[in-house]
Amino acid sequence: MRARSQAQRGSTLLVVMIFLLLFGIMAASSFRGSLTSAKAIGNMQWRNEAIAAANDAIDRLLSTADFATNTAATTTAVNTAPFQVDINGDGVNDIAVNLPVVTQDGVARAGPRCSRATPIPSTALDPSLPADLGCFGSASSSSSGLGVAVTGGGTSTVTQSPSLCSDTEWSIRVRAVDAVTNTTVDVVQGVGVRVPTTALPICN
């Protein structure tokens, strides 16, 4: 009788140990899952912060047409002194944004890329619009390249073609790097900009 009681206690102890082991495995799995979720959320936050910094840098580039009319100098200036962004407002710059080297059509170079340039015909311009006025032969509408031809008592508009401006399309790639979290994000923005024909870039 005593041997049977001891055997029962031994079996109970074994069952308890198995359940404790199972509970321990479940607790460890749950903890690991929580850590993975927290890490994923952190990675997503760091990525979103890097994207925000990249978009801010693109907005700064687009604030002037320098990137289109003086691409090489703009690229050098940005990569010499990358855009710095303080994401958390602690007074310390967290993310640096530059213009990375990109290979396109077998050509590797950094900076904005012009993909297309189309001369604007004078007939497509409106001399009453300040933005269009500078694309005529002069800055004033009275000598803007427009003439009036009188034929049989009627009038017709004579225009120059092409104008002094061209429409260009650009692809701007920036790279945001967070040195603390080792997060790196590339953001590409397409944009169209009007440039003087005298400053027309080489597009490919």
pLDDT tens for each residue of the chain, 204 residues long: 555 555 566 677 777 778 778 777 777 777 676 666 666 666 788 888 899 899 999 999 988 888 888 888 999 999 999 998 887 777 788 899 999 998 877 888 899 998 888 888 888 888 888 878 878 764 444 444 444 444 555 555 544 467 888 889 999 999 999 988 888 999 999 999 888 888 878 787
Q: Quote the pLDDT of residue 159.
A: 45
Q: Quote the pLDDT of residue 171.
A: 92
> Is residue 106 in a domain?
yes
User: CA 105 → CA 73, 117, 150, 151, 173, distances in Å?
Assistant: 23, 18, 52, 53, 16
Q: Quote the pLDDT of residue 8.
A: 60
3-state secondary structure of 199: helix
Pair 55, 180: CB distance under 8 Å? no
Residues 145 and 69 in one domain: no
Task: Tell me the residue type at 143.
Answer: S
Phi/psi region, residue 159 (left: phi>0; alpha: psi -120 to 50; beta: rest), is: beta
> Is residue 93 in a domain?
yes
Q: Quote the pLDDT of residue 6.
A: 57
Residues 63 and 26 in one domain: yes
> Is residue 204 in a domain?
no
Contacts of 88 (CB under 8 A, 6+ apart): 94
Residues 75 and 16 in one domain: yes
Question: Considering its fold, how many domains does the chain have in total?
Answer: 2
User: CA 154 → CA 127, 149, 190, distances in Å?
Assistant: 21, 8, 45
Residues 80 and 145 in one domain: no
pTM, entire model: 0.66
As beta bridge partners, residue 122 has: none
